[in-house]
Structure 1
Amino acid sequence: ASPFATRSLHRGCFSCCIEREQGEGLGVHVGQVPGAEPGVCAGLWIPHANFAGPDGTMPDEITWGALDCSGSMAWWIKIGSPVGLLGTMAGEVLKAPKAGETYVVVAWARESEGRKFFAGVALYDAAGEVVARSGQIWIGRPAGAPAPAPLAPAASA
């Protein structure tokens, strides 16, 4: 099971925080694909109608948000610790996702170069077609920098 299935990588993050109420954030998180090499991850995303335009599709900025954090999660799963912050992300939205439909987010850790960690993320529709994709560079913490504080358990109401 993914360590991100029960707690968020970045509490409060619009893209990956799973403690947000439905429709307040995207809730995108991925876990290791069984049998794949470490750092090959996948998860489901069902875009909420709160973020849709008048035609029921997601604006590009929401789709880009859905691609964001999964590259970092792939690296965290591969090496066992967080890699830092997103430096750059380049990609394209080929087809706007629709509210209420199920999509598969696939992320994979690629190579690293010093403090740079390269990742790829793709979003697939139910027919297996790529609807969006990105290449990312995550910037790791400098050597000797303190590790982030452990994640606190989710608050209960």
Structure 2
Amino acid sequence: MTQERAWYQDGFIMIFVVLSMIYIGCMYLEYQWSQIPRIYPRLSGQVVRPMLSMPDFSLELWHQHAGNLRNGVMSVTLSGESIAENARHQTHSFEVWPPNRENSITLKFPLQRFDQESELKVEITLTAANSHPSYSSFVWKGEDWTEETFYGVPPTAGQ
């Protein structure tokens, strides 16, 4: 006596359906991830020399993405002979970061000394909920950014 079963009671068909759903779900997640933009921060820098204290390296950072960045962290690391040991790294976290220069973030790094021949390497890592993680690297020498190759968007000097 043979018993006919419904299609969903057959084990092989159910395994095929489950594996197909997993494959379609993975393809959809990959598509969604590919639609997220990679945001590189723009920056401007200058050396501020007060009369009675040590100089500071001032960085102004902003982005020009079409919308706000949400729930993110921007990490800035400076390396070079001039930078003070305890002030090489600063982190800025944000819930909402609107675009354009009027919403910029200013970070100041104290320098032990500064001369025109010393180089400061600036490395920026930006992660946000609505963008891919990005890494940028720039070199400051004298009073301007060097022409060395950098990864990211070209910086501007001064403010």
Normalised by the size of structure 2, how large is the TM-score? 0.32
Q: Tell me: higher relative CO, structure 1 or 2? Use CA pairs within 8 A at least 6 residues apart.
A: 2
Q: Give the structure with the higher percent helix.
A: 2
- Please say which structure displays the higher CA radius of gyration: 2
Normalised by the size of structure 1, how large is the TM-score? 0.32
